[in-house]
Amino acid sequence: MQANRTRNLPIRTLVALFTGLLILATSFPGDASGIKIKGTSSAILSAKCLKDDNVRGKRDKVTFFETLQKAKVNAIRRHVANSGISVANAFEAKQSEIAANVEDYLLNPNIRVLCERGTKNLKISVTGELNKSAFDRALALNQMEVKQRSRMTSIFVARRQSELKSFDAKRTEIARTTEISEASQAAEVGADGSMKAEGMAVNTVKTETGGNVTYKQDKVKYATFRPDAVETAVTEIFVSLGYRPINNSQIEERSNGKFNVKRFEEEFASNENISTGTLSDAFDAISKLMIPLLVIGKVDVGAPMKARGNDQPTVVVDVKAQVFRYDGLFYETVASFGPAQIKSTGLSSTAAENNAILEASRAAARQLGAQLQQNNIY
């Protein structure tokens, strides 16, 4: 009798119980990342829906829970689809395991069921937060084991606008007037010896107007700076993947200044690209110290702005990063990220800027690390 009562519970009640248990199971060990995810799934039932989005029959209840599971997995898939090729490739190899344990990666789920009475159409929507740390570990463990990998070092340079000089459009006006005079005369002698003369004069005035507009590019001056905690955040990610990051200050000292972060900063202040000379000196320095991998990241920081209806400032940063590997003769690009835009909001402009820079640096390191793992770069 008790078993029959459980089987006859409405689907809405079962969903509520299931959601409650799932929240209890995931709220303690989980690590909410703030990344919102959403997935949906649909199915056609064998019988019509009942009142209050309920389904009937053992077969349709199985369909219901299969559809719910697919909606959760689709939430993860949707995140992967927006995360780059390397993450997609790593997920492809682990998708069966992740689907079987999807509750480990979906925190605080909110389940919505749409099954209109009198129809056979079932649709389930699931929203929640991604357990980013657990998800990243699952992808990293795609490698059979975490092996000790190469030494590496990184340089992340950042800049913001310090001065902007705008130029007005220059317009050149043309106004030209041309006057043309034409005259003609005719004379004839009559039979009786009389003479007749006629003359005609035409005066034409032509006026031309016009011009062109010349635009001059704005002159922007940048100031570079070293963001707080970026090296720590990037190092944390690469260490978790088995690499051995070396602080760039150690390399500067051991290379007698040939590896010079300040040169990167000075050049980035006036140019998007780092000069070949600076790169060559850096590569030469780390190759002599038996460090085969160099990470170079460049961050452009935008001015703080406030969205309508939100008093907290938002900062948008553009980030690009690459990993170079020395092959004994040349340095080749083995991983690349961006350009990508990352934005963040904070209680103050400084907080928003720091948050955006850290998020951008972590995003770049995750993508670069995933590519290195995917391509078996040791």
Residues 128 and 231 in one domain: no
| Six-digit token string for 33 | 């990342």
Query: pLDDT band for position 376 (50/70/90)?
Result: confident
Task: Classify the phi-psi angles of 243: left when phi > 0, otherwise alpha if psi is within -120 to 50, otherwise beta.
Answer: beta
Residues 332 and 236 in one domain: yes
* 146 falls within a domain: no
> Based on the domain organization, do 136 and 159 belong to the same domain?
no
Number of domains in the chain: 3
Check residue 8 and give its pLDDT. Answer: 47
Q: Are residues 271 and 204 in the same domain?
A: no
The string of pLDDT tens digits covering residues 46-76 is 888 887 767 778 888 888 889 999 999 999 9
Bridge partner list, 43 = 122
Q: Are residues 183 and 245 in the same domain?
A: no
Q: Do 51 and 112 lie in a common domain?
A: yes
Across the range 20-48, mean pLDDT stands at 66
DSSP string over 70-136: HHHHHHHHHHHHTS-HHHHHHHHHHHHHHHHTGGGTEEEEEEEEE--BT--EEEEEEEEEEEHHHHH
Range of the domain at 180: 170-214
**CA angle centred on 300, ends 86 and 325, rounded to 5°:** 45
- Looking at every residue in the chain, the average pLDDT score rounds to 79
Q: Residue 187 falls within a domain, yes or no?
A: yes
Spatial separation of the C-alpha atoms in residues 86 and 305, rounded to whole Å:
33
Q: What is the mean pLDDT of residues 255-284?
A: 92
> 145 lies in a domain?
no
Whether residue 232 sits in one domain with residue 201: no
Instruction: List the CATH number of the domain containing 318.
Output: 3.40.50
At 311 the pLDDT is 81
Predicted confidence at residue 61, as pLDDT, reads: 85
Between 195 and 20, residue with greater pLDDT: 195
Q: Domain check: are 226 and 361 in the same one? A: yes
- Looking at per-residue pLDDT, the higher value among 234 and 172 belongs to 234
87-138 tens-digit pLDDT: 777 788 788 888 889 999 999 999 998 888 788 888 999 999 999 888 888 8
Report pLDDT for 201: 57
Same domain, 268 and 328: yes
